[in-house]
Structure 1
Amino acid sequence: MFINRVQLIFLGFSSKRYKLRVFKASSNRVLPFILGLIFALVVGSQSFSSPPNTEILWDTYGIPHIYGKDARSAFQAFGWAQMQSHGNLLLRLYGQARGRAAEYWGEKYLESDKWVLTMGVPERARSWYSAQSPAFRSYLDAFAAGINTYVKEHGDLIDDSVEAVLPVKGEDVLAHLQRVLNFTFVVDPEKVGGVSSQEPKAGSNGWAIAPKHSANGHAMLLANPHLPWSDLYLWYEAQITAPGIDAYGASLVGIPVLNIAFNNNLGWTHTVNTHDGWDAYELKLTGDGYRFDGKVRPFETKTLSLKVKQKDGTLLQQPLVVKSSVHGPIVSEKDGFAIALRVVGLDRPGVLEQWWDMARSQNLTQFQKVLERLQLPMFTVMYADKEGHIMHLFNGQVPVREQGDFEYWSGMIPGDTSKTLWTKIHPYKDLPRVIDPASGWLQNANDPPWTTTFPQAIKASDYPLYMAPRFMDFRAQRSARMLAEDEKISLDEMIRYKHSTRMELADRILDDLIPAAKQYGNKLAKRAASVLEAWDRQANADSRGAVLFASWTQAINLDKAFSKPWNEKSPRTTPDGLINPKNAVATLETVAAKVEKTYGALDVPWGEVFRLKYSNVDLPANGGDGELGIFRTLYFAPSENGRFQSVAGDSYVAAIEFSNPVKAMALTSYGNATQPGSTHVGEQLPMFAKKQLRPVWRDRAIIEAHLAERKAF
């Protein structure tokens, strides 16, 4: 039974004289009257929270606000919504997660299918589906039903080629989840295969600010993942409201729950943490098996059938032999050795339900109780709430290892002994965590937990050497600098800091490079030094000198450029100083000649070379590579004429202040849809270019005022 505070005050229950008022009442009719009134109020409140119908209210930015009459209906509506916004992409991702993409779309998906099938994704998805609680299994079925129903009603809006995936089942959702989390984020197939890629790795920024460090005395949270702007990395912004939940945030396309979210009482974001959740074991082959603890063990072997669609539409069938050792599946064999993979999380099927329950939590105690399940294989959790608590949790399934440091476990591990074979995971209590630090702020920019705040609140020496590495790169240093140097941060200031394009690396090294160029350089180097001296040390669209500096950093080896390397005792001010100024100037001369030849000027504006391009939008960019110490992170790929276009980086951003009511601003950089014909493809990029966020609309009346479309079920 739930009675809110207003009802209690109305009934007089908040008074210390409550007992006298009830038990000294002069009439026996008073108590039945009060109880009857309580019953009426409670029933009324329950009926109000359960709408008779399920609706999707689409606002003018293409954000679906889902109002479900129950949880199952909300999941079904969310499946429908994702299809309307990302239908072609979602079905293609699900086809890949089945390991049947080559069957549907041809040979270019063959390697993807081999990876998915070798990792056992479809088979494990079926077992995970059976392991769900009955209620949550019904939610997955409902999400799949929403997908299927949308296509039945709007098949003309979905590409014929992807309809081969239909009908979608609940187990497809779990297969997609595994492919995204365990076999893309935890273990990158390209790293396993030794393939170099131009696509940047996933990254993120996250801040949690306590009331003592905020201008308005309220806790604040900044969510800022950096992911590729395509494929399984795309974010989908949404609000989900149903009995027991009213959460706003974003999920990766195809995931049926919010991965980053907030409600009226709390919120969290994730950052990609320095987590080692997989290992490559080298096995010595002997006959048809491998050596393990002095004996020869046979491989477990099974043969699967791969179908590959040919250009004439026929299917070519070929076998795929999957071999496994006690460590895990074999990914390569050569010269008498095999490589086996061991990946965390494959025995923990409750990831989605944990995320769902995180969004339903109302305070830190409830939230931590959900986190203790440790179903999520990785990702730092940055948390803030209305009561003023903030938290950094180095979340993940960390193997319990007998020996070795982080660097050791990042290499090839001997697989011929059980001493290196981990079988247990550290419990929640073992993970690095800090709640309400003295500083009043927490940050993570993909640096280890030891540098989350200063003075240091989590000490590396208290944890196993393999828990996380020790470093603090320039983006993390920039992050900590902005938080530490402002004693009282407002929501507007937090948003401004989020958009900072200042290069921490430039602040660290230009004071050495410029005088060296003036002393040792030729005329071109001296002109380059003048450009760098006049530059604002930012990567804004109109910044002149940023292109020259970024080109110079690409041409030198930063790992060996500094006279003072990074030092754990001075994590925020090292590395520093040029170790070889003459060589640095010689490189500047070479780079300056190339920049002038390519762009016609040494001080070409940043936004003329680096472009924000998505769909039909093409704008001057601001922001850049995090290795330069830029907090507003963007990654670019070569396009034409020496220009570059955005392909990854700042994707979903949310800035939340836990005031009453909660204030929130957000942006999904590339818009909230990819489906052809949608007006929301790329529509938020102009705001991104202007360093703007949109107000988050959460109240129904405000949503109705910005309503673009209504769908009732």
Structure 2
Amino acid sequence: MTTRAHHTTRSAVLMLACAAITVACSKPPSNEAAASKERYNATVRWTAHGVPHVKANDWAGLGYGLAYAVATDSVCTLAREFITVRGEQAKFFGPEEGRLESDVFHKSIITDEALAHAGARVPAEMAAMTEGYIAGYNRYLADHSGDQLPASCRNQSWVRPIDAVDMARVGIGVGIRYGVGRSPAAIANAAPPTKDEKTSRVAPPAPEDATMMGSNAIALGKAATSNGRGMVLGNPHYPWWGSSRFHMAHLTIPDQVDVMGVGLISTPFISIGFNRDIAWSHTVSSGMRSTLYELTLDPNDPLSYRYGTETRKLTPRTVSVEVRQPDGSLKTEQRTTYFSHFGPILEDKDLPWTRERAYAVRDSNLDNNRATEQYLKFARAKNVDDILTSLQTSQGTAWVNTIAADRDGKALYADMSVVPNVDAALIKACAGEKEGRWGAWRVVVLRGAPECEWRVDERAQQPGILPPQQMPHLIRDDYVTNSNDSYWLSNPTQPLEGFSPIIGAEGTERSLRTRAGLVMVNEVLQAKEHNRFDAQRLQDLLFNHRSYGAELVLDEILAICKREPKTVKLEKNSVDVTKSCEVLAGWDRRHDITSRGAHIWTETLPLIAAIPDLWQVPFDVKDAVNTPRQIKVGDAKVRKAVMQALATATQKFNDAQIPLDALWGDVQFTERNGERIGVPGGTHGAGAFSVMVGKLTPGKGYSPIVTGNSWMQVVTWTDAGEVDARGILAYSQSEEEDSPYAADQTKLYSKSQWLKLPFTDAEIAADQELRTLQLSGS
């Protein structure tokens, strides 16, 4: 395709690529006079645990230094992400494990038009920063070529310089993660049935587990803190491996920006953090990013669909993918994906492409090009009103809630994420025949008719999304919180109601994690004495690693243990649960590394929660924080099911050869350079607020860690108004085992310790491990 946008994008790429080549060949200047003549200048000061503080006089220099710092810790991970969004995984690593489908997906979705649109609303500051970032990354590769790279990518041909298109591709890839990016295979493998077939032969894998990403966040206002300042707990639960890891950094341009926190390895800005006046965090929103459209096909042509009185043709997109063969040679394969005007056709076992119907997905974030604008405004905000205004005027947060507090003691919750403009009336009038599910995900299915198009509201920042006036937010002096349930009970004393169900549910049962957060906050605020938070108290709320699920029902389960026979019959055998009952009776009801019994609970509670008619006190919309509760101990069927749940968990650990009385830190751990490090935190299903999810491996335990507590921050202000920030990266700054910062913070996290984050120049200068690098390039 040849378009003006195409030529513009390519020209920009060539110009930046030339600049990058020049920079890659440059060396540090010998003196300050030489440095002043260079295009890019930055100072990187690393404090303890490899935390980079990047300082520059302009945005290009800031990006230059940031990229160099990120590459220092994560060059292999970042290089691999560039390969992913280029659609070159199969070329370098083979087609297995969904890599070929990922390549087809990315090449089909990230078109020249999409790339041109991505750059259409980037502020000048962020454009300059991105230019510098490209140069800084390429500079790092020039300084660390071949065998100077970490072991995981040493001398690998897939580690190579980047350009503007690579950065744009990565930005698009992050934005569509919760839309079309849920299951690349469902789009890459979608194929029309042949003439003699009623349905397609394609059987794509199910979408990614919906629990891979979550978060907790609490913002406290002046009525809830000991000194009347605001305070924020940020606690995203993100993958422990790959490009969705966070990287800590501090970015400063004197008199322009001074912000610290984390960004994803694949995002060149701070996405969760703080400045001198505000602190913020994010939680994954319950709002939908996309809808499915059920297309009625022409009975004689599965590539044509009805749209009102029209018949429209699906548009094929054929892409070429290089695929590595078993002998190391490359073979080019061509694959075709199909698009309606709504978006790409997808297919999985529950949404087949038949001769009568096909399903298209429309993703709101494919048109969201405002993320860099949004986070620039966050970095410069002075109070929560600025944060709210920035959300309303940019709507650039793709799929997250925003929770913030400021130095003056105000707390904000807002879901101003990018959500289709679809209300309850439209959902009812346009409901498709299929249930609203796509694999593990809840989704709205609409008929592919003109009257079912997303509504356009001029107040919104892009056509087809909800305007900020129709989205929930709350500013309070006491507290707001979110743990991935909807906005409804951000603060139970002021429920948020009357919004489109596409944003989230109202008046429904909350998760145990949501309830745990609300209960623990109110335990402090409703105490007779010492009923205000300081930083330590907020840290302890997370790092007590309490199991709210156990606090809620374990006593009743132990009562059932005492009452029922200890030999329990399962489908294929009988299991003695005596030991499990004894261990749970002695468990401290925490998921700390010294706790015994946490693993039994981890497998037992989800089974118990699924028992029909379990609760003596059912969910009550008027007491949503405290209901449902009380297991029906007097019901013989419930007692039997509880014992079977215990037996199933017991059998699982017997089969896995894991002692029932093992310490949690011996059961859940990560391994770094041959050393086992116990990892505290429990699962969402076990009723934990402090979340950690590991893969249960026979003979070992819950290892490797998959997702959970990642970046944790508690930010407040002193009586004098100075920033007081603490944080910890649970998995440490680098995932490269040959890095000195691969396990240091993990060992601190294992002991439930935090870092005091140096923010002022005096604090940075006082760090005993301070090292400084002057960077410049032309």
- How would you bin the TM-score normalised by the shorter chain? 0.7 to 0.9
* SS in structure 2 of the partner of residue 345 of structure 1: helix
Give me the whole-angstrom Cα distance separating, in 1, the residues matched to 2:287 and 2:251.
30
**Contact 2:120 2:369 (8 Å CA) reproduced:** no
> Alpha carbons of 1:592 and 1:127: their partners in 2 closer, same or farther (altered >3 Å)?
closer
Choose from 719, 743, 758 the match for 1:697.
Answer: 758
Give me the whole-angstrom Cα distance separating, in 2, the residues matched to 1:92 and 1:128.
21
Aligned residue in 1 for 2:496: 459
Query: Amino acid of the residue matched to residue 647 of structure 1?
Result: V
* SS in structure 2 of the partner of residue 632 of structure 1: coil
2:755 corresponds to 1:709: no
Moved more, 602-611 or 190-199: 190-199
Aligned residue in 1 for 2:182: 188
In structure 2, the gaps of 5 or more residues are 1-39, 187-203, 456-463, 526-531, 568-575, 633-637
**Contact 1:561 1:578 (8 Å CA) reproduced:** no
Aligned residue in 2 for 1:649: 708
2:315 corresponds to 1:300: yes
> Alpha carbons of 1:134 and 1:452: their partners in 2 closer, same or farther (altered >3 Å)?
closer
* SS in structure 2 of the partner of residue 413 of structure 1: strand
1:247-286 to 2 correspondences below 5 Å: 247-286=259-298
Give me the whole-angstrom Cα distance separating, in 2, the residues matched to 1:121 and 1:633.
37
Query: Amino acid of the residue matched to residue 272 of structure 1?
Result: V
2:410 corresponds to 1:420: no
Aligned residue in 1 for 2:24: none
How far the C-alpha of 1:306 sits from its partner, in A, is 1.7
Aligned residue in 2 for 1:566: 619
Give me the whole-angstrom Cα distance separating, in 2, the residues matched to 1:317 and 1:166.
21
Aligned residue in 2 for 1:537: 589
Moved more, 323-332 or 223-232: 323-332
Aligned residue in 1 for 2:238: 227
Give me the whole-angstrom Cα distance separating, in 2, the residues matched to 1:106 and 1:112.
12
Give me the whole-angstrom Cα distance separating, in 2, the residues matched to 1:160 and 1:130.
36
2:58 corresponds to 1:70: yes
How far the C-alpha of 1:683 sits from its partner, in A, is 1.7
**Contact 2:42 2:64 (8 Å CA) reproduced:** no
Query: Amino acid of the residue matched to residue 352 of structure 1?
Result: T
Q: Deviations over 1:58-111 (max 9, x none)?
A: 112111100111122101111111111111111110111122332344323211
Give me the whole-angstrom Cα distance separating, in 1, the residues matched to 2:309 and 2:618.
44
> Alpha carbons of 1:503 and 1:647: their partners in 2 closer, same or farther (altered >3 Å)?
same
Give me the whole-angstrom Cα distance separating, in 2, the residues matched to 1:637 and 1:352.
35
Give me the whole-angstrom Cα distance separating, in 1, the residues matched to 2:646 and 2:142.
61
Aligned residue in 2 for 1:322: 337
Aligned residue in 1 for 2:639: 581
**Contact 2:122 2:372 (8 Å CA) reproduced:** no
Give me the whole-angstrom Cα distance separating, in 2, the residues matched to 1:185 and 1:445.
20
Aligned residue in 2 for 1:367: 387
> Alpha carbons of 1:340 and 1:274: their partners in 2 closer, same or farther (altered >3 Å)?
same
> Alpha carbons of 1:183 and 1:648: their partners in 2 closer, same or farther (altered >3 Å)?
closer
CA RMSD across the alignment: 2.6
2:387 corresponds to 1:334: no
* SS in structure 2 of the partner of residue 56 of structure 1: strand
2:407 corresponds to 1:386: yes
2:101 corresponds to 1:111: yes
How far the C-alpha of 1:53 sits from its partner, in A, is 5.3
Give me the whole-angstrom Cα distance separating, in 1, the residues matched to 2:760 and 2:490.
34
Give me the whole-angstrom Cα distance separating, in 2, the residues matched to 1:310 and 1:585.
52
1:206-225 to 2 correspondences below 5 Å: 206-225=217-236
Aligned residue in 2 for 1:553: 605
Aligned residue in 2 for 1:12: none
Aligned residue in 2 for 1:627: 685
In structure 1, the gaps of 5 or more residues are 1-51
**Contact 1:275 1:467 (8 Å CA) reproduced:** yes
**Contact 1:102 1:307 (8 Å CA) reproduced:** yes
Q: Deviations over 1:514-562 (max 9, x none)?
A: 2222222237555544433332211222222322222322444526362
Give me the whole-angstrom Cα distance separating, in 2, the residues matched to 1:543 and 1:480.
24
> Alpha carbons of 1:302 and 1:593: their partners in 2 closer, same or farther (altered >3 Å)?
closer
How far the C-alpha of 1:693 sits from its partner, in A, is 0.5
Greater per-residue helix proportion: 1
2:510 corresponds to 1:472: yes
> Alpha carbons of 1:345 and 1:476: their partners in 2 closer, same or farther (altered >3 Å)?
same
How far the C-alpha of 1:435 sits from its partner, in A, is 0.3
**Contact 1:187 1:343 (8 Å CA) reproduced:** no
Give me the whole-angstrom Cα distance separating, in 2, the residues matched to 1:185 and 1:53.
38
Query: Amino acid of the residue matched to residue 749 of structure 2?
Result: F
* SS in structure 1 of the partner of residue 128 of structure 2: helix
How far the C-alpha of 1:219 sits from its partner, in A, is 1.1
> Alpha carbons of 1:629 and 1:703: their partners in 2 closer, same or farther (altered >3 Å)?
same
Aligned residue in 1 for 2:6: none
**Contact 2:594 2:663 (8 Å CA) reproduced:** yes
Query: Amino acid of the residue matched to residue 81 of structure 1?
Result: A
Give me the whole-angstrom Cα distance separating, in 2, the residues matched to 1:329 and 1:292.
16
**Contact 2:611 2:641 (8 Å CA) reproduced:** no
* SS in structure 2 of the partner of residue 485 of structure 1: helix
**Contact 1:499 1:631 (8 Å CA) reproduced:** no
Give me the whole-angstrom Cα distance separating, in 2, the residues matched to 1:562 and 1:191.
38
How far the C-alpha of 1:163 sits from its partner, in A, is 4.7
2:172 corresponds to 1:178: yes
Q: Deviations over 1:271-324 (max 9, x none)?
A: 011111112222232213112214311112232222223344433112222321
* SS in structure 1 of the partner of residue 474 of structure 2: strand
Aligned residue in 2 for 1:350: 370
2:73 corresponds to 1:85: yes
* SS in structure 2 of the partner of residue 334 of structure 1: coil
Task: Flag the structure with larger Rg.
Answer: 1
Aligned residue in 1 for 2:33: none
2:45 corresponds to 1:60: no
**Contact 1:121 1:175 (8 Å CA) reproduced:** no
* SS in structure 2 of the partner of residue 231 of structure 1: coil
2:536 corresponds to 1:492: yes
Aligned residue in 2 for 1:435: 475
Give me the whole-angstrom Cα distance separating, in 1, the residues matched to 2:413 and 2:260.
21
Give me the whole-angstrom Cα distance separating, in 2, the residues matched to 1:710 and 1:311.
46
Give me the whole-angstrom Cα distance separating, in 2, the residues matched to 1:674 and 1:602.
31
Q: Deviations over 1:420-440 (max 9, x none)?
A: 321521111221100015xx1
Aligned residue in 2 for 1:18: none
How far the C-alpha of 1:180 sits from its partner, in A, is 1.8
Choose from 712, 715, 739 the match for 1:678.
Answer: 739
> Alpha carbons of 1:642 and 1:145: their partners in 2 closer, same or farther (altered >3 Å)?
closer
**Contact 2:412 2:473 (8 Å CA) reproduced:** yes
> Alpha carbons of 1:600 and 1:189: their partners in 2 closer, same or farther (altered >3 Å)?
closer
Give me the whole-angstrom Cα distance separating, in 2, the residues matched to 1:190 and 1:98.
14
Identical aligned pairs, as a percentage? Answer: 22
> Alpha carbons of 1:326 and 1:138: their partners in 2 closer, same or farther (altered >3 Å)?
same
1:148-167 to 2 correspondences below 5 Å: 148-156=138-146, 157-158=148-149, 159=153, 163-164=157-158, 166-167=160-161
1:402-421 to 2 correspondences below 5 Å: 402-404=425-427, 410-411=442-443, 413-421=445-453
Query: Amino acid of the residue matched to residue 124 of structure 1?
Result: A
> Alpha carbons of 1:394 and 1:703: their partners in 2 closer, same or farther (altered >3 Å)?
same
**Contact 1:562 1:575 (8 Å CA) reproduced:** no
* SS in structure 1 of the partner of residue 126 of structure 2: helix
